[in-house]
Amino acid sequence: MKKIRVLQIIGSMEVGGAETMLMNIYREINKEVIQFDFFLNSDKEGFYEKEIKSLGGKIYKTKPKSKHPIKYIKDLKSLLKINQYDVAHIHASSTKNFLPLKILNSCGVKKTIYHSHSSKGINAVIQKFFQNSVVRNSTIKIACSDLAASWMYGSKAKEAHIVFNPIDVNKFKYSQKDREDIRNLLNINGKKVFVHVGRFNKQKNHKFLIEIFYEINKIDNNTILLLIGEGLEENKIREQVKDLKLLGKVMFLGIKEDVFRYLSASDLFIMPSFIEGLPVTIVETQANGLPSLLSNTITKDIQQTNLVTYLPLSETAINWATQALKLVKHNELNDRTLYTNKIEKIFDAKVIVKQLEKIYLSDD
C-alpha cells in the first residue's frame, strides 16, 4: 500500500487541547501507512517538537501568520511544491484561518481537511463572513463536538465528521500511590485540593477561577488550588492571588508532563471557561474518576459520566464555591477506578485513530 503523506497545519505544538489531541493521534497512527509532517507558524520551539522528531516526524516552520502573512504564503507554497501531499489537515478555532485552504487549493492538494476545535470565539459577524470560504474550499469537515461543528460550518454542520479528542485512557486511571506521592511532594496532605489545567489566557477565565477559590477558601480554609499551565495572563493572575492574600493557597506549577498524577491528587477540577471546543482535560478527569465543575458554555458532548456538573457564568463566585464544596463532599466515597472503562470505549486514542485513518485513506 502506498504511504499517505499528511501535512498537519497548526499554529504551534505547545501544550494545548488541539496540540495534545494531535500528539495522541500521532503516537498511535500506523506510521508504515501514514506519514505526518507539521507546518507551524511559530518562532519558538514547542513542547511536543522533540517528541515529534523522535517519532520520525518532520517539522517545517514559518513566521507567525498574523504578523508575516506574505512569508507564511510563500513558505507554505514552497513546501507544497517540494512535497506532494495527499492530504492537508488544518486545525482551527475559527473561520479566520481560511488562508491555508486557499493556498492548498491553488497548489493542487486534493484532500483538504478543516478541523474545528472551538465552539465560540471571534466576533460572530466575522465568523459568518469567512464561513462560506471555509465550507466551499474544504473537501472534508471535522469538528470535535456538535457545538464546534455548528460554530464553524453553520448550515453545513451536518456534513462534518465528529471526531472526539482522544486520550491514552489507561494512563489517566486513578492511582492511590500517585495521590499520596504528589500530596507529599507538595506538602498538601489532609487538604481539599482543587485543580485547573490550561493555558493562562482570557478564554480560560482564570480571573473568575481565582474569585471562586477565594470564596471556597472563605468557607473552608483547609483548601488548596493547583494551577497547571503557562501563558500570557499568568503574571496578572499572580497579582490577583497576591491582592486576595491567597499566597501559599494557590500553587502555580507550570507545565507538567505527568498531569495524570496531579489529577489523582486532587478532589475537584474547576473550568469556568468562556470558550472551549471539546476540552481533552475533561475526558482525562472522567477517566481518572475526578469530578469537575464546568461553565455551561462547554459542550455537553463531553459529559459521559455523572462526574461532570455545569453552572452558568452568570452565577456568582459564591454560588460556584458552594457547589464546588458540595461536589467534593458528595464524591468523597466514590471508587474512582470504576470510570476508566466507560471513557475508554469512546475516547481512547486507538478508537479515534481508526476513525481518522479511515478519513485519511478514503478516496473521497
Grid cell digits, residue 100: 491555508
Instruction: List, in order of start, the domains of the chain with CATH numbers.
Output: 4-166+348-361 (3.40.50.2000), 169-345 (3.40.50.2000)
Q: Are 116 and 94 in contact (CB under 8 A)?
A: no
**Per-residue confidence (pLDDT) for residue 33, from 0 to 100:** 95
Cα separation of 56 and 129, whole Å? 39
Q: Which residues 6+ apart lie within 8 Å of 312 measured at CB?
A: 295, 296
pLDDT < 50: residue spans in the chain: none
Q: Are 276 and 298 in contact (CB under 8 A)?
A: yes
Q: Are 49 and 13 in contact (CB under 8 A)?
A: yes
Q: Are 72 and 47 in contact (CB under 8 A)?
A: no
Cα separation of 177 and 154, whole Å? 47
| Sheet with strand 111-116: strands edge to edge | 58-62, 34-41, 4-10, 87-92, 111-116, 140-143, 161-162
**Per-residue confidence (pLDDT) for residue 18, from 0 to 100:** 85
Torsion angles phi and psi, residue 258, rounded to 5:
-110, 50
What are the pLDDT digits (tens) for 104-114? 999 999 999 99
10 Å Cβ neighbour count for 105? Answer: 16
